[in-house]
Amino acid sequence: MIFRRTILKQDLAIKLYPQSSNINAAMQLLRKEIKLSPELNNRLELLTRNKRAHYYTHKELEVILEHFCISQEEFELL
């Protein structure tokens, strides 16, 4: 997969957790998933330069979608 752009963390959270009542709830679910998955957490730590950034880089997005077993085509349909 090759993504050519960054994505806001909150936009990704809403796409992955559309059933959430609001953005904060979706963000909490995404952070919890990352925290509870040691492999995902480690891979993101290796790629992340700024943990406080409000966006994921295309490489971080690729790792997250791979963890959720979502292809680029499926992601674009979300």
Assign 3-class secondary structure to 2-32: CCCCCEEHHHHHHHHCCCCCCHHHHHHHHHH
Q: What is the pLDDT of residues 4-46, one digit of tens each?
A: 788 999 999 999 999 999 999 999 999 999 999 999 999 999 9
State the Rg of the chain over Cα: 12
Q: Is position 70 within any domain?
A: yes
Q: What pLDDT shows up at residue 1?
A: 61
In a domain, 48, yes or no: yes
Tell me the residue range of the domain where 35 lies.
7-77
Buried b (16+ CB within 10 A) or exposed e, 25-37: ebbeebeebbeee
What pLDDT is recorded for position 78?
82
Q: Is residue 31 part of a domain?
A: yes
**1 found inside a domain:** no
Task: Give pLDDT tens digits for 55-77.
Answer: 999 999 999 999 999 998 888 88
Find the helix or strand (DSSP H, E) in which 72 lies: helix 72-77
- Split into its structural domains, the chain has a count of 1
* pTM for this entry: 0.88
pLDDT at 5: 81
Residue 2 lies in a domain: no
Q: In this predicted structure, what is the pLDDT of residue 76? A: 85
The whole-angstrom separation of Cα 27 and Cα 30 is 5
